[in-house]
Each structure stands twice: as C-alpha cells, then as structure tokens.
C-alpha cells in the first residue's frame, strides 16, 4: 500500500468511511512524516501535534456516532501563515507579527472546520505573501522537495513543499499574482486560484485586496475541487465575496463534463524568457488535448507583456495602504528606540519589515504620491481593463486557455534574491489572471531532464471553475505525473 | 517621462513612515529606479477613453444587512498582544508636548 501521507483525499475518505482507517491513525502518520522530513524541507513554521490529534479524535467520534461530515472529515489541511486560526500565531512569516496570536478563525477556516477538516500547522511563506521563492520569510527558507538546492516557489512555498513532501493531505495558500499556482508548478502538485470573490478574505491578512484570493493545494484536481467546494460562499464579513454565478457541484462536473473542448493557446506565453524544456512540455500537453478531440485555437492576449508592470503598480499601491496598519501601537512589533509618535511608526516599521516588504511599500507609496498618481496608478488601472478585455475577447471563442504556469522550473536558492525585477518575472504567466479576476489551476505536466516538475496552467472563465476543473482533471487522469513523489 | 525615472527615497520613505539605513537607501534607490524604468512600457499604450478598473467585478457600496450585535473579543485577549499596556489600555510614547 502506498504511504498514507501520499494518498489523496478521495482515497483516504473511502478508507475512513469503511473503517479501515481512523483519523487519528492518519493524523499520526502525517505527524510522523513531518517529523521525519521537515528538518530538510522546512515547510512548517510551527505545528501543534497534540491539537491536531485532538481534532482527529473528535472526527473519529463523529464518525462512530454516524455523524461524519463529508469527504474532508478527518483530513489534515495545512494552513499558510497568512490565514487566521483561533489561538494560533499568525505571523505572515514577518518579525512584525512575531507576537500576534489570532483571537478568531478566518471564514475559510471556519468553513473547513464545519466540513470536519483538521486544521494542521502553520506553513512558511514569503513575508506578507510578497515574493516568488519563499526566500523572503523572516524565519526560514523552505526547500523544494524535488531538489533541496532549489526554491519551492512562492509566496505559498511552504504550502506547496508540504504537499510534495507528504506533510499534509491538502493545504491552503493565497494567490495575489500567482502565489498558489507558481509554487504548485515548481513542486509538482495541484494548486488552484478561484474567481475573485468566490472565497471570503475575512481573516486573510491583506496584501492587495483587489487581487488576493484563498485557494487549495492538493494532489489531484478532484481533491482541490473538494477543498474549494467546502470554502465557497458569500460572507457578510467580506463585502467583495460573492455567490458563484456558475456551477459549484464540482464532483458532478468532473464526472459529467468530458469535452471535447475548444481551448485557446496564447502565442504571447511562448516567447522570450521561457525555458525550452518548459515550452516543449506545454506544447506536448496541448497536443495531448488535440489528440483527445479538442479544438485548439491560437489566440492573442495582446496586452500580456504589460501585466507585470500593471501588477507591480496596483499591488504595491494597495499594499502600501493595507500595511499601514502595522504601526507598532496595538499588536505589531514596537521598536525599543521609539521616543515619540513619529519614531514609534518609523522605527517600528523599519525594524519589523524585511527588504521586499519595504521595497513594495515604498514603491506603492511612490505611485500613489502627489504628482505620480495619474502617471502610474491611474494609467495602470486603465491598462488593467485592457488586460481583462483581452481575456473577454478570447473567451468568446474558447472554453479555457492553456499556458505554462511558470516560465522556468524551480531555480537555485539565492539566484534571484538580489534582482527583484528578475524575481517579479517569475510570475509573468500567472499575474494577468489575478488582474482579470479569473480562476486558474496549475496541474503537473511532467518533469525536466534533471527531474524538476513542470506545471500546465488552465485558465477558466469567471465563475467557470466546474469546466476548468474538468479540463484539468482530464489531462491529469490521462497521465500519471501526480502519482510520482520526490525521494526524501 | 522620457528621462530616467528617479525616486527621492528620503521623501517617499517618510511618507511611508519607514526608517531606512543609509545602506538600505542606496540599495533600494537603485533597485526602485530599475523597476520604474521597467514600468515605462505602460506609456506606449493608448488608454484614451478607457475607464480605470479598481476591481475584478463591479463593486458598489452596500449596506450591511441584518447586522446584529454579536459577541465581541475579550479586551484582555486583545491586550495580550499590545507591546505595552496598563489598566486594559495600550501605552504609547508621549504624543503631546
């Protein structure tokens, strides 16, 4: 039998239901695995084994009483350190929140608890979700389980690495410009960003509010769909949350929707900067769909090359405003050297924030400042609409869009830390999706010659998760990449 | 904006209320100038007549429906995270001279 920690939610749910497995046994297996490998991987900032086992016992008791809650009951789900879990630290991998303990659960956590999931551990990330390699964590650097010398991607690098290493059965991440999909691709797991508004942001520490979304990492597309389905819904605590305007019975969609689909391939995503192995791999994936009877259409998203500059204006502007709350007064780091109201802010923020966070707050402050607002921020917002328009036009003729998730496989640690612009270009294929508010998923599509994973991105229509999942699921089930696990 | 963009790092750091060391200023300053240079490609786009887009969906102000008073956080729980407190209040450095 395959190790428990590498099984899927659907496999484990069946074992739990038949009584062949208890949630306590499963949780203990995941704890043992984590204890064995996390010294190398460093995916977790912290975890509380006793608390997790107590949740597992409660799940087993529900099941014994005939009150099991569904496929997630008793399944350990790891949580990115940016999401609030009651009575646990929420540090966003920052010194700024070193002492913060959340008095409440994020809405997505509440919903996972209602579905019976075990809330498991705090996963490493780039500080305040700013980065593409998880090297911006103030606490530790996470390794890619496929090659410990390389980065796991970011910002949800801990969530992706924990999945690849078998330290959780599913995990949550957040995606502002690709922070779920890019690490999923680099770590060879499934990662999905929902349509903007589908999952409440209440309890998610805000980075860029018009772009941030919570989403799942999982071993399979079906597992990702199960986790997402549990988190859906309008929430009075987040005025931008919305009931899906599309189909949300994803399990049924995976069974019923078999294509053939009309799929768009944007020429702009295969040009300069793409690694030749990634390019060949994604072209092969496109050919696979063609072989299944799908119609492949060459499309154009002409404003694609502007997505990165638009993103780094819009996102940093929103960040400079959102992160103003970390002021050294109520719950964040306070400088010992603060002598008055002004130095309370300036010194506490100078000490508490890391380099990338400072860089983005300053950039965001600049593009919003008097004299530059129109030239940068307002212009970027206009180009954002043009980017959305490109997608709307493409979706008039296609069901979904296929692209690489990342232009390169995992890169070496330290390779881009001194070149922020090179780091920003890691997200070149994922960012436009956030600007347009669309759903997208990264699904494993093979390996480079040196054994690093590659991811295929499927971009769906707004609220078109059901179709998008079905398209990704078809590819996944036609291959066995998801069954391959790294040797640790 | 044809000339090379340049950030007055002292001015902006002050607006952002972040104290930077001299070393940080030098490093950040040149990195930010590079990034701003990269932003310049937005100037080549014709955006006349295009409405700025702030959100993925049209977001309008909404009245909160059914907003009922509910349980609130225990002040003592919240005060545990304050860097300094006295009698359930946050202590800060002297603000008024």
Domain ranges of chain B: 1-44
Would you place residue B95 in the very low, low, confident or very high pLDDT band (cuts 50, 70, 90)? confident
Hey, what domains does chain A have and what are their CATH numbers?
4-259+441-483 (3.90.1300.10)
Would the pLDDT of A339 be above 80?
A: yes
Average pLDDT over residues A302-311: 96
Per-residue pLDDT reduced to its tens digit, A213-268: 999 999 999 999 999 999 999 998 998 999 999 999 999 999 999 999 999 999 99
Q: Which of A211-225, A307-321, A382-396, B46-60 has the lowest mean pLDDT?
A: B46-60
Domain range B1-44, its CATH number among 1.10.287, 1.10.20, 1.10.1760, 1.10.3470? 1.10.20
Question: Using the beta-carbon criterion (under 8 Å), do A363 and B42 form an inter-chain contact?
Answer: no
Per-residue pLDDT reduced to its tens digit, A277-304: 999 999 999 999 999 999 999 999 999 9
How large is the ipTM?
0.93
Given the residues A7, A23, A59, A80, the one annotated as active site: A80
pLDDT at position B4 = 65
| CB burial of residue A288 (10 Å; 0-12, 13-18, 19+) | middle
Active site residue A80: yes
State whether residue A3 is helix, strand or coil.
coil
pLDDT at position B94 = 87
Chain B residue nearest residue A363, CA to CA: B32
Nearest to B35 among A347, A358, A421 (CB): A421
Residue with more model confidence, A476 or B54: A476
pLDDT at position A29 = 98
Percent of chain A with pLDDT over 90: 96
Averaged pLDDT score across all residues of chain A: 97
Chain A residue nearest residue B20, CA to CA: A350
pTM score, whole prediction: 0.97
Cβ of A163: how many Cβ atoms within 10 Å?
Answer: 32
Per-residue pLDDT reduced to its tens digit, B60-73: 777 777 778 888 88
What are the chain A neighbours of B42 within 8 Å (beta carbons)? Answer: 306, 309-310, 313, 376, 379-380, 383
Question: How far is Cα B42 from Cα A291, in angstroms, rounded to an integer?
Answer: 39
Per-residue pLDDT reduced to its tens digit, A45-85: 999 999 999 999 999 999 999 999 999 999 999 999 999 99
C-alpha triplet A242, A238, A226: angle, nearest 5° = 55
Identify whether the C-beta of residue A83 lies closer than 8 Å to the C-beta of residue A175: no
Residue A120, phi-psi category: left (phi > 0), alpha (psi -120 to 50), beta (remainder): beta
Quickly list DSSP for A398-414. -SEEEEESSSSSPPBTT
Average pLDDT over residues A106-117: 98
Per-residue pLDDT reduced to its tens digit, A430-454: 999 999 999 999 999 999 999 999 9
Per-residue pLDDT reduced to its tens digit, A9-30: 999 999 999 999 999 999 999 9
pLDDT at position B1 = 43
pLDDT at position B55 = 86
Question: What token pair was written down for A228?
Answer: 């997402």
End-to-end CA distance of chain A: 18
Average pLDDT over residues A339-357: 96
Question: Using the beta-carbon criterion (under 8 Å), do A358 and B34 form an inter-chain contact?
Answer: no
Query: Which residues does residue A263 pair with via DSSP β-bridges, in sequence order?
Result: A296, A400
- Altogether, the residues listed in chain A come to a count of 488
Would the pLDDT of B2 be above 50?
A: no
Active site residue A348: no
Would you place residue A2 in the very low, low, confident or very high pLDDT band (cuts 50, 70, 90)? low
β-bridge pairing A400-404 and A262-266 = parallel
Given the residues A179, A320, A426, A445, the one annotated as active site: A179
Tokens 């309370």, located at residue: A344
Percent of chain A with pLDDT over 70: 100
Question: Using the beta-carbon criterion (under 8 Å), do B34 and A421 form an inter-chain contact?
Answer: yes
pLDDT at position B62 = 73
Question: Using the beta-carbon criterion (under 8 Å), do A363 and B35 form an inter-chain contact?
Answer: yes
Question: What token pair was written down for A221?
Answer: 């597309």
pLDDT at position A1 = 47
pLDDT at position B3 = 58
β-bridge pairing A118-123 and A44-46 = antiparallel
pLDDT at position A297 = 98
Question: Using the beta-carbon criterion (under 8 Å), do A362 and B9 form an inter-chain contact?
Answer: yes
């Amino acid at each position: 039998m395959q190790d428990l920690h590498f099984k899927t939610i659907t496999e484990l749910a069946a074992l739990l239901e038949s009584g062949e497995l208890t949630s306590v046994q499963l949780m203990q297996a995941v704890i043992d695995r984590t204890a064995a490998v996390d010294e190398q991987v460093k995916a977790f900032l912290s975890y509380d084994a006793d608390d997790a086992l107590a949740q597992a016992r409660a799940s087993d008791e529900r099941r014994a009483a005939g009150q099991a809650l569904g496929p997630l009951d008793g399944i350990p789900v790891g949580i990115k350190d940016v999401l609030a879990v009651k009575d646990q630290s929420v540090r966003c991998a920052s010194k700024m929140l070193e002492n913060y303990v959340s008095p409440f659960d994020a809405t997505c956590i509440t919903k996972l608890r209602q579905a019976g999931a075990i809330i498991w551990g705090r996963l490493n990330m780039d500080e305040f979700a700013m980065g593409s390699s998880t090297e911006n964590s103030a606490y530790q650097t996470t390794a890619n389980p496929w090659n410990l010398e390389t980065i796991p991607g970011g910002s949800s690098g801990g969530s992706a690495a924990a999945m690849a290493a078998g330290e959780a059965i599913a995990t949550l991440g957040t995606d502002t410009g690709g922070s779920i999909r890019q690490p999923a691709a680099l770590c060879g797991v499934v990662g999905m960003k929902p349509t903007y508004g589908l999952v409440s942001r209440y309890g998610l520490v805000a980075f860029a509010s018009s772009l941030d979304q919570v989403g799942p990492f999982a071993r399979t597309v079906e597992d990702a769909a199960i986790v997402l389905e549990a988190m859906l819904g309008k929430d009075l605590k987040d005025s931008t949350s919305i009931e899906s305007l599309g189909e949300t019975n994803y399990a049924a969609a995976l069974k019923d929707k078999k294509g053939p689909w009309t799929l768009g391939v944007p020429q702009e995503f295969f040009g300069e900067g793409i690694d030749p192995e990634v390019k060949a791999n994604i072209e092969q994936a496109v050919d696979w769909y063609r072989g299944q009877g799908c119609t492949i259409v060459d499309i154009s998203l002409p404003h694609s090359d502007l997505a990165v500059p638009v993103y780094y204006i819009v996102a940093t502007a929103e960040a400079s405003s959102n992160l103003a709350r970390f002021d050294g007064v109520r719950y964040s780091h306070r400088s010992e050297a603060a002598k008055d109201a002004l130095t309370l802010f300036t010194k506490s923020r100078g000490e508490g924030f890391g380099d990338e966070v400072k860089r983005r707050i300053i950039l965001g402050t600049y593009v919003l400042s008097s004299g530059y607002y129109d030239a940068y921020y307002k212009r970027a917002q206009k180009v954002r609409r043009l980017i959305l328009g490109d997608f709307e036009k493409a979706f008039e003729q296609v069901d979904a869009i296929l692209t690489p998730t990342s232009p390169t496989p995992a890169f070496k640690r330290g390779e881009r830390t001194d070149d922020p612009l090179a780091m920003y270009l890691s997200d070149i294929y994922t960012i436009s999706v956030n600007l347009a508010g669309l759903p997208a998923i990264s699904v494993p599509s093979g390996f480079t010659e040196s054994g690093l994973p590659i991811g295929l991105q499927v971009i769906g229509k707004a609220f078109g998760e059901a179709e998008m999942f079905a398209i990704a699921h078809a590819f996944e089930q036609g291959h066995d990449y998801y069954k391959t696990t790294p040797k640790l | 904006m044809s000339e090379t963009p340049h950030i007055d790092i002292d001015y902006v750091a002050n607006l952002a209320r972040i104290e930077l060391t001299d070393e940080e200023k030098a490093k950040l300053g040149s990195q930010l100038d590079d990034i701003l240079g990269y932003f310049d490609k937005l100037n080549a786009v014709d955006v006349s007549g295009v409405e700025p887009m702030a959100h993925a969906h049209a977001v309008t102000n909404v009245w909160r429906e059914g907003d009922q008073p509910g349980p609130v956080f225990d002040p003592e729980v919240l005060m545990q995270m304050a860097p300094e407190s006295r009698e359930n209040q946050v202590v800060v450095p002297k603000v008024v001279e």
